[in-house]
Chain A
């Protein structure tokens, strides 16, 4: 099983600042089947990034994904008020499908 470790657990930032979230895999994620979601309280996760770096439809270009192998990053270039949420990475390069533990981006 591929374990995804997200860091930091909580990121305290102000609107307008840059957020850098990390997702590290215990083994290489095949063909960059690495995905990022945003989740707000009481809501289902929202797809942000798939294939490690491709933005989903309707996702603002302030969100970007990068990385390969075992190290992946989600960057939010300038935080908007609606971006404060929990972010999860997910892989399905190999079974079982696994999620990271999440990074909470909170208002400083």
Chain B
């Protein structure tokens, strides 16, 4: 059974860098795009960006200047870094698998609540 397991710091101070990692257990790593999505408390979903197994990335233009998504194919892991966080970045951050071609998310991590507070 394919699973996404994510981890990272849940409490940050303003101006710090958010860092999360998602590991893919089971299934193919190369057949998908691997994505980060966030959801502020009580609000809707926002796509942060994606990466494939060869390291090709796409980012949301609204976050592009602060986001880096990287991949470690030897470990079947991908990571998110978001720099210079503010309270507006407080959200549940989830990793998800994006099916290439049909372009929908068919597998999600459990989500990590990241709170930015001084």
**Number of chain B residues close to chain A: CB under 8 A:** 21
Is B53 among interface residues, defined by CB-CB distance under 8 A?
no
| Structural contact, A45 and B45, CB atoms closer than 8 A | yes
B108–A102 touching, CB < 8 Å: no
Chain B residue at smallest Cβ distance from A54: B102
Please give, as numbers and ranges, the residues of chain B lying within 8 Å of A96 by CB-CB distance: 47, 58-61
Q: Return chain A residues, CB-CB under 8 Å to B109.
A: 44
Given the complex of chains A and B, what is the CA–CA distance between A47 and B58 in angstroms?
22
Contact: B44 with A44, CB < 8 Å?
A: no
Residues of B within 8 Å of A99, CB to CB, are 44-47
Q: How far apart are the CA atoms of A99 and B58 in the complex, in Å?
A: 16
Smallest CB-CB separation from A102: which chain B residue? B44
Query: By the criterion CB–CB under 8 Å, are A51 and B102 in contact?
Result: yes
- Complex CA–CA separation, A88 to B106 (angstroms): 14
Q: How many chain A residues have a CB neighbour from B under 8 Å?
A: 22
Interface residues of A in 1-40 (CB under 8 A from B): 1, 33, 35, 37
A10 to B59, CA, bound (A): 30
Is there a chain A Cβ closer than 8 Å to B32's Cβ? Answer: no
Nearest chain B CB to A97's CB is how many angstroms away? 4
| A44–B108 CB distance below 8 A | yes
Contact call A95/B45, Cβ cutoff below 8 A: no
Q: Cα distance A91–B46 when bound, in Å?
A: 12
Interface of A toward B, CB cutoff 8 Å: 1, 33, 35, 37, 44-45, 47, 50-51, 56, 88, 90, 92-93, 95-102
Subset of 18 A-B contacts with CB under 8 Å: A37-B105, A44-B96, A44-B109, A44-B111, A45-B45, A45-B108, A47-B106, A50-B102, A50-B104, A90-B105, A92-B98, A92-B103, A95-B58, A96-B59, A97-B47, A98-B47, A99-B45, A99-B47
